[in-house]
Amino acid sequence: MSEIELTSIVMTSGVNERGEGFVTVAAHGAGGIILLGQLPPAEVRAHALAYMEAAEAAEQDAATLRCIRKLELPDQLAGLVITELRASREDTDG
């Protein structure tokens, strides 16, 4: 599978004939839309929470690497610490 550069994700609210809400999600890549689908609001909320958690974890990972480098320790140590923190986060998620 070739790698496609993701340029944006667009979400639009909607309602069907039965009065049920849904969200149309379109993932745009370089060269056009690469994925289009509809999800129920609860699933979109779950995805939103996962996005927020991943963004926070990424910032924590970057801060860990900066700290390790500031202490002039090897980057491999940062990798070990980041891996351990990730495992710790996963253990507390369940």
What are the pLDDT digits (tens) for 25-61?
999 998 887 888 999 999 999 999 999 999 999 999 9
- Two tokens at 45? 């909320």
Q: What is the pTM of this model?
A: 0.72
Taking the domains of the chain in order of start, what are their residue ranges? 6-39, 43-93
- Write down the pLDDT at residue 4: 81
Rounded to 5 degrees, φ, ψ at 39 are: -130, 150
CA-based nearest residue to 59, from 93, 85, 77: 85
- Cα separation of 61 and 46, whole Å? 22
